[in-house]
Amino acid sequence: MKRIMSLLRATLATLLLWHALPTLAAELPPLSLADAKAKAAVILDTRASYFYQGWPMEGEQQGGHVAGAENLSADWKYSDEEWPAALATKGLQAERPVALYGAPREVAEVARLLRQQGIKQLFELQGWKSAPREHLARWQQLVHPRWLADLQEGKPVVAAPKGDWKLFEVAWGSPKAYLLSHIPGAGYIDTNRLEEEPLWNKVSDEALKKLLLENGIRHDTTVILYGRNTMAAARAAHLMMYAGVEDVRLLDGGLDAWFVQHLRTETGLANTFKPAKEFGVAIPAHPEYYTTLSQAKELLKQPDGALVSVRTWDEFVGNTSGYSYIKPKGDIPGAKWGRGGVDANSMSDFHNPDGTMKPAREILAMWDEWNIEPTQQAAFYCGTGWRASEAFFYAWLMDWKRISVYDGGWYEWSADPKNPTVTGERKPAK
């Protein structure tokens, strides 16, 4: 009984807080966009990242964020240890003005959080809905849960597929978790059908084509992918793009994002689709998206080439291989560090606290530290291809023109003792 009463009190306190938030937001002094720029204020978008990236909200004619704005969603949860880095990344300082915009409750919640972090000069941005906007170049390919749910229900949606579309969950192995809970109507793709031992490189083009046709996928089918780990979905996305599927999309934030929205799930066996008779174009339609071992070696010699290691710092400097089945430690001499996550199963450096893609400006800033530039010929790699595929997809969303995945990665490179390796602390070449 005591536990029930405690939960009721906590719920009531939360409801009272959220009821008061619009009033708190109204207490923020107003600031025009012109005055915000004159004060060199940080402009802060407090909405969900989907709208920041480019999706229009209901009733909006344009999506995206106010030009130059940072994103700090009211829904994100930072730990005490994470707040200093978050503030620094977004240019938030105690004495620097901050102009917030979004729904009243979102503005009020972020204002509350910032006050706790010692940010004092808080304003509410006026006229933001009609201000010039920026957006991710290919925002349509990074879909959000509500859009997918509306599409499933047959409602009109922005950036709707032009024709046939199919949804798939992607994961390694048999669909154990899928059987217990998955997005309605989703098929299932086991990554064992995409890659093979001993190095977990991609399967043959013929085997890839067979998988696509079995699942009713042609070059002109819109394919929407999600995973319990976005890396798995990105692995499938990259290889489908390599094959020639013209419209591949990822669910931003993966299955967790669907759960957060409390959208319906279903149980049971994987949904199957009528097989396609032909793919429609020769595979691969985009061989330039795939880099081999020999091509990776040539890229290291190329003046505008960038072989980008999407691994943890400990992997990059040789403290660990990152995998139980990879014994050698170190990395490829001449490679640039493109960041990764906390371990080989993480891409947290690229994610907001809710697992969605970070703003392009933050990813670009990370890469710029290691002289990884949009104009370069860039091949991303990791241990066996999953993390590299997600980095590739984000670069593609930002409209990088000359990108690929070095599929073999550290596993293939380190398997041959004749290939040079390097360990120890190092810095970007100047």
Do domains 30-134 and 288-415 share one topology? The answer is: yes
pLDDT band at residue 27, thresholds of 50, 70 and 90? confident
Rounded Cα–Cα distance for residues 335 and 296 (Å): 10
Question: What Å distances lie between residue 58 and 157, 297, 401, CA to CA?
Answer: 10, 49, 32
DSSP calls for 153-203: TT---TT--SS-EEEEEEESSS-HHHHHSB-TT-EEEEGGGTEETTTTEEP
Q: Match domain 30-134 to its CATH number in 3.40.50.300, 3.40.250.10, 3.90.1170.50, 3.40.50.1580.
A: 3.40.250.10
pLDDT band at residue 26, thresholds of 50, 70 and 90? low
One-letter amino acid identity for 59? G
- Using one digit for the tens of pLDDT, what is the confidence trace for 176-189? 999 999 999 999 99
User: 10 pLDDT exceeds 70?
Assistant: no
User: 3 pLDDT exceeds 50?
Assistant: no
pLDDT band at residue 17, thresholds of 50, 70 and 90? very low
Average pLDDT value for residue range 52-70: 95
Question: Per-domain residue ranges for the chain?
Answer: 30-134, 139-285, 288-415
Q: Is there a contact between 187 and 129 (Cβ–Cβ < 8 Å)?
A: no
Task: Tell me what pLDDT residue 429 has.
Answer: 83
Q: Which two tokens stand for residue 269?
A: 């066996």
- Using one digit for the tens of pLDDT, what is the confidence trace for 122-164? 999 999 999 999 999 999 999 999 999 999 999 999 999 999 9
Task: Tell me what pLDDT residue 243 has.
Answer: 98
209-246 in b/e burial notation, b at 16+ Cβ within 10 A? Answer: bebbeebbbbbbbbbbbbbbbbbbbbbbbbbbbbbbbb
Other CB atoms within 10 A of residue 133 CB: 18
Average pLDDT value for residue range 247-254: 98
Rounded Cα–Cα distance for residues 176 and 316 (Å): 33
Name residues whose C-beta falls within 8 Å of residue 416's C-beta, 6 or more positions apart in sequence. none
Task: Tell me what pLDDT residue 15 has.
Answer: 46
Question: What Å distances lie between residue 82 and 76, 144, 291, 339, CA to CA?
Answer: 12, 25, 36, 17
Task: Tell me what pLDDT residue 169 has.
Answer: 98
Helix axes 104-116, 2-26, angle to 10 degrees: 100
Task: Tell me what pLDDT residue 394 has.
Answer: 98
Q: Which two tokens stand for residue 333?
A: 């001499």
The answer for 91, left when phi > 0, alpha when psi is -120 to 50, beta otherwise, is left
- φ and ψ of 11, to 5 deg: -65, -45
User: 11 pLDDT exceeds 80?
Assistant: no
Average pLDDT value for residue range 401-418: 98
Rounded Cα–Cα distance for residues 52 and 139 (Å): 10
Whole-number percent of the chain with pLDDT over 90:
92
Rounded Cα–Cα distance for residues 219 and 422 (Å): 41
Residue 323 bears catalytic tag: no
Q: Is there a contact between 223 and 247 (Cβ–Cβ < 8 Å)?
A: yes
User: 256 pLDDT exceeds 70?
Assistant: yes
User: 111 pLDDT exceeds 80?
Assistant: yes
Query: What is the residue-averaged pLDDT of the chain?
Result: 94
Average pLDDT value for residue range 253-275: 97
User: 46 pLDDT exceeds 50?
Assistant: yes
Rounded Cα–Cα distance for residues 189 and 177 (Å): 13
**Topology of the domain comprising 139-285:** Oxidized Rhodanese; domain 1 (3.40.250)
Name residues whose C-beta falls within 8 Å of residue 77's C-beta, 6 or more positions apart in sequence. 353
**Topology of the domain comprising 288-415:** Oxidized Rhodanese; domain 1 (3.40.250)
- Using one digit for the tens of pLDDT, what is the confidence trace for 187-231? 999 999 999 999 999 999 999 999 999 999 999 999 999 999 999
Task: Tell me what pLDDT residue 337 has.
Answer: 98
- Using one digit for the tens of pLDDT, what is the confidence trace for 328-379? 999 999 999 999 999 999 999 999 999 999 999 999 999 999 999 999 999 9
Residue among 237, 150, 131 at smallest CA distance from 191: 237
DSSP calls for 31-84: E-HHHHHHTTPEEEE-S-HHHHHTPPPTT-S--SEETT-EE--TT----TTTHH
Rounded Cα–Cα distance for residues 84 and 91 (Å): 11
Which entry of 231, 378, 382, 388 is annotated as an active-site residue?
A: 382
